[in-house]
Structure 1
Amino acid sequence: MGQTLSDEAQPASKEEIIADLAEKFARKCFEPLELYSFKDNFKSLADHEQGVRYLKEDTIARFLELPDILAVSPVLFHMLSYIGAFPFLKDAPVILGFEQMIMVVAIMTERHSKILAKGASNRRKLLFKSLAVYDRKLSEIEKQLRREDNTGPGIAHAGSSLRAHGFAVDEAGDDYDDEAAEDDELVLAALESLNLDDVFKTGDSYAATTHGAMIPADNFRRLIMLLLLVAPLDAQESLSNYASRVTGSELESLRATAENILSAFINVERSPGITFSQFINVIPVNFPYLFNGFNPLFEHFLFSKNLNLSKRKDSASKPAAPVVTSPPLLQDQGQILNINVLSQLSCFIEGNELFRRLRLLYSGAEAGFSMRSFEAKVFNWRAPTIILVSGTRLSDPPSKSGSEGAFNDTLPPKRFSNGGASGGDRLVFGALVRQPWRHTYKECFGGDTILFQLSPTHDVFPSSSVNRDHVAFAKAPVAYPGLSFGCPHPKSSHTSRHEPLRHPGPVSLVIDSSFEFGVFTHDYTSRGGAYATSVSRRYDFQERFSIDEMEVWGCGGDEEARIQRERWEWEAREAEARRKINLGTGDIATDRALLEMAGIIGHNRSGGSMN
């Protein structure tokens, strides 16, 4: 009697919880050979100090082959030191030991979803926190800028020259933020997976708030350059294979592309960094696949060079297997599309549709700027296409003379300002058209089309399922022939006598029939168009430009190319057959009348052959 219960169960410590979670991640997220490789890699890479084995920043950078010129290793190591603290994120940054690296690799490769099925949005929140600094001064600057009116670009603001430096942490104030008060579902799911229902599941025990947090613009720029570089990376492919992309003019192109992407989040001349609301609102629409390149990059930890399953005792007597070389990422050369722009496209179009899958179908510089050459090159492609158009912004106010004046006369007076001066006057717009191209005599086509801008600001405008004015390819006798995206179908010249002007849709791209001029309209206040308005530029703007180049790229492989080639050959045979038809009457007009009566030619038919 009087004895105390000395064997009462004690609550698990943080160290025990981390060990249990790491063990569960290792067992459920990795295959046995992957786990073996991970252990082997960690053992060979880790430094040893006071009984602790851990990975250092330069070790990780060297193992992943991060290019020194990008200066991205401090940014990435900061991310990993934060994610390694999972699920006790308030303890970050942490030393990257074995268990911490298990967390890092599982989360960076998205394998954590095998256990924590809480959706991509929760991982995005974790990635934001891993990149952010907590600086009250920067937060107050951003608040001041947000109070300014948001009518468009070009307004100078005090403090625009301020920049964020390093990873110094300055605790945020006590201001309440609804977004910061939300529970981190990813962390809760991790603790629930261990059947924990104690104090560790209270929000303030593990989570760092998003209030006062901001990703410094320069840090995010460097990370974007890395993400563009690794976007086409295959599993077990070495990043050093892309060394040529970070030298000379290729590096400048990579940096310029990253700048276009960064401008989707902030105006770098005004804002010191990216807030949580900007990050979480822009990523799902404009960059749903931005972080996909992390998957193959961090899978390098799951493949050991010391493990060679092809080795056999009698391997010396067998000839070496032939080396299989992959086709180039971009098989054809274009003036608009290059490897960096291709990587930019993969931020919102899945990479398996792009890398090693695109063929140049039409180039205005090579085939001529006309609807006829466009039709001849593109219409037989029976798979999705990507159309790109680059141009130079027209002067404002617009010219009233020459072909530019004639084009402007077909448009309503310009009511909106340009979309932004950042990045110069070169503009690049485009669209992913998933249906084959065709003539539009009465109605538009192209459901599930994506309209987008790539330069000088990256922006994506998904199609509406209600308004179906997605794509029109209209030739005479319509009043205003040409290509249009997001506009009502052009009316015939007979019914449009009292409508002398074009009618651009709320979010639309119009290209005239000569492929000489284009206009992009973003009427944010109107809404209801065929394409959604911008999530980042919440104001009205319009870009009028002269076209410098236009390209159409076919998405597909050898099978799609074969079908197109067979279609071209059939049309050539039919044209030759029609040319050689001789009915023996000696009267060409009579012969033609007989062919029309037979339905072989005329009445908008393509013709046929005669046996």
Structure 2
Amino acid sequence: MGQSHPGGVEHRSREEIAAELAEKFARKCFEPLELYSFKDNFKSLADHEQDVRYLKEDTIARFLELPDILGVSPVIFQMVSYIGAFPFLADAPAVLGFEQMINVVAIMTERYTKILAKGDATRRKLLFKSLAVYDRKVSEIERRQRAESAGEAASHAQGFAVDEAGDELEEDAADDDELVLAALDSLDLVDAFKTGDMHAATTHGAMIPADNFRRLLMLLILIAPMEVKQNLSTYAPRVAGEELESLRATAENILSAFLNVEKSPGITFAQFNAVIPLNFPYLFNGFNALFEHFLFSKNLDLSKRKNSAPRIDEHVIPPPPLLHDKGRILNLNVLSQLSFFIPGNELFRRLRLLYSGADAGFSMGSFETKVFNWRAPTILLVSGTRLGDPSESSGSESNFLESIPPKRFPNGNSSGQDRVTFGALVRQPWRHTNKECFGGDDMILFQLGPTHDIFTTSAINKDYVTFSKPPVTHPGITIGCSPPKSGQASRHETLRPLGPVSLVIDSSFEFGVFTHNYTSRGGAFSTSVTRKFDFQERFQIDDIEVWGCGGDAEAKIQRERWEWEAREAEARRRINLGTGDVAADRALLEMAGLVGSNRSGGSMA
């Protein structure tokens, strides 16, 4: 492998080599029926110009059913025109003929991994280049901004560590593209072409315009739950009215994880490469189902084949909803946002609303009743409004602020948005905590808005989750804090200890605080990979929800547990010795010390 063949390679043009790679993709990555469907779709969609058959932007947009309101069609066409030139990316944008579209579908659906055994990092670089523009003036603006911010790393106004000077993640101009090399190597041609023959511009001076990426994010949020053969047009209600505004707001929260839109015109490769792996490992998964539409022809009806099984009419047996229940925090757009870092097969059509403060009451008792019997992973979500000046607080707000250390850190961003949303994925059942926390190293602490951020567990300690009621010193729910102590607090323990990276919900479910002490380098949870500064969010809680991850089996187990507890409670309430004389029964119970002036044995009626 890796050796050229003298006398053979010299006589093969780039077009011939690209066609050979496309033929290999088609043969090794697609099933015969899929390839037949692809050919049929291309034939019916292609325009003609002399002897060239190709796809246009509006044709692709119409076939994929891209919503006009999102304005994402030019972005997608730029992507596929670049990827269509693979492996000779210097020739991009490509005319999207048959071979070029084979490359596009193989790469966008990740089918290429069947013959090019490369990791996500190589495809990530290719996707960045397909979205980027190359503007030296813009690049110089970015570099000046980084130079200006080099001495202000501790300033929360700059916001992103990847904006600092020293763009070490951008590869040198001479570096090879691993995915391109793998493709040529698969054809035994890797030594026949030099870097300059393969590459378009490197990531130096390249950035994805913020507005383009915002449009793409809206599409990715929309298609995240898409299934094979499902039409994007079925999501039409989600791109109108209030649903469209919610879609835009969610995209804005995600975009803020990559850059400060007020200070930067676009996303550099350093930012893209730093944010995607941890914060959005599944961001582009929706492309798989979207571009697999090219592999299914509407002209091919398998139900007409002889001896074929009867087709089940999808309109007769509709699939279960993406979200079984309606939440005040969790909606379909936030659900997609979660699926960018939690596998979608754990979320879509599998979440149950176990507890909602708005419905069941904001109390630890109702939380315990609704959540403790769920034996599968749960997702805790809490949203609220930032607290104002402490000097202007009073009543319960003042009492809460006096129970935690004085604020030393600024807010997490300066966007002007006062609504914040945090959450945690807890894979162990909830329980009371006495001397130790519960949870495991597979937990995820996260922020959804106004900036998306992920805080994974670390090896420093195991102070994961506590659920503590009085008489502990600091009751409530904590994530990332040491467990509270029992009994009365001493003079030195009057303030609640806050973990380096932690979320605290007070026992009244009225207030919360999220702390990110970057200087301390974290505790049970690691610090942010993008916001490398100290910040803290103090907020009044508006909503709390707990969602159970699981299907009907988990819901059945929880329901049976609830029914058993209800029967036990009723049995305790109806204590009766069976003599038929209620007064005599009570007298016997009083003699036994089970009921009396200071005890309650339930109703004797």
1:68 shift after superposition: 0.4
200, 203, 218: which is aligned to 2:195? 203
Q: 1:513: which partner in 2? A: 507
1:10 shift after superposition: 4.8
1:588 shift after superposition: 3.4
Q: Does the aligned pair in 1 maintain the 2:78–2:130 contact within 8 Å?
A: yes
Q: 1:140: which partner in 2? A: 140
Between the two proteins, what is the percent identity of the paired residues? 72
Change in Cα spacing, 1:27 to 1:434, as seen in structure 2 (3 Å) is same
SS state at 2:284 partner = helix
TM-score, normalised via structure 1 length: 0.90
1:355 shift after superposition: 1.0
535, 542, 564: which is aligned to 1:548? 542
Q: 1:284: which partner in 2? A: 277
242, 249, 253: which is aligned to 1:249? 242
Q: Does the aligned pair in 2 maintain the 1:400–1:406 contact within 8 Å?
A: no
Task: Please give the alpha-carbon distance, in whole angstroms, between the structure 2 residues aligned to 1:442 and 1:383.
Answer: 23
Q: 1:444: which partner in 2? A: 437
Change in Cα spacing, 1:280 to 1:315, as seen in structure 2 (3 Å) is closer
For residues 260-292 of structure 1, what are the alpha-carbon distances to aligned partners after superposition, in whole Å with 9 as ceiling and x for unaligned? 000000010110000000000000111011100
416, 424, 449: which is aligned to 2:417? 424
SS state at 1:586 partner = helix
Q: 1:433: which partner in 2? A: 426
Q: 1:66: which partner in 2? A: 66
Change in Cα spacing, 1:295 to 1:587, as seen in structure 2 (3 Å) is same
1:180 shift after superposition: 4.4
Task: Please list, as runs of the form range in 1=range in 2, the aligned pairs for 1:191-590 lying within 5 A after superposition.
Answer: 191-200=184-193, 202-207=194-199, 208-312=201-305, 323-397=316-390, 399-422=392-415, 424-447=417-440, 448-494=442-488, 496-583=490-577, 584=585, 586-590=587-591
Task: Please give the alpha-carbon distance, in whole angstroms, between the structure 2 residues aligned to 1:247 and 1:443.
Answer: 48
Task: Please give the alpha-carbon distance, in whole angstroms, between the structure 2 residues aligned to 1:74 and 1:477.
Answer: 61
Task: Please give the alpha-carbon distance, in whole angstroms, between the structure 2 residues aligned to 1:230 and 1:84.
Answer: 22
> Unaligned regions of 5+ residues in structure 1, if any?
1-6, 157-174, 595-600
Task: Please give the alpha-carbon distance, in whole angstroms, between the structure 1 residues aligned to 2:251 and 2:215.
Answer: 8
1:444 maps to a residue whose letter is C
Change in Cα spacing, 1:413 to 1:590, as seen in structure 2 (3 Å) is same
Task: Please give the alpha-carbon distance, in whole angstroms, between the structure 2 residues aligned to 1:209 and 1:314.
Answer: 55
Question: Once superposed, what is the RMSD of the aligned Cα atoms?
Answer: 2.3
Number of residue pairs aligned between Structure 1 and Structure 2: 571
Q: 1:160: which partner in 2? A: none
Q: 1:186: which partner in 2? A: 179
Change in Cα spacing, 1:398 to 1:588, as seen in structure 2 (3 Å) is farther
Task: Please give the alpha-carbon distance, in whole angstroms, between the structure 2 residues aligned to 1:290 and 1:101.
Answer: 22
Task: Please give the alpha-carbon distance, in whole angstroms, between the structure 1 residues aligned to 2:547 and 2:520.
Answer: 32
Q: Does the aligned pair in 1 maintain the 2:302–2:308 contact within 8 Å?
A: no
1:582 shift after superposition: 3.6
SS state at 1:375 partner = helix
1:466 shift after superposition: 4.2
1:52 maps to a residue whose letter is V
For residues 521-543 of structure 1, what are the alpha-carbon distances to aligned partners after superposition, in whole Å with 9 as ceiling and x for unaligned? 00111014111111111111000
Q: 2:28: which partner in 1? A: 28
1:475 shift after superposition: 1.0
> Unaligned regions of 5+ residues in structure 2, if any?
1-5, 160-167, 578-584
Q: Which moved more, 1:467-476 or 1:54-63?
A: 467-476
1:545 maps to a residue whose letter is F
Task: Please list, as runs of the form range in 1=range in 2, the aligned pairs for 1:75-224 lying within 5 A after superposition.
Answer: 75-147=75-147, 148=149, 149-154=152-157, 178-200=171-193, 202-207=194-199, 208-224=201-217
TM-score, normalised via structure 2 length: 0.91
For residues 516-574 of structure 1, what are the alpha-carbon distances to aligned partners after superposition, in whole Å with 9 as ceiling and x for unaligned? 00000001110141111111111110000000111111111111110000000111111
1:578 shift after superposition: 2.0
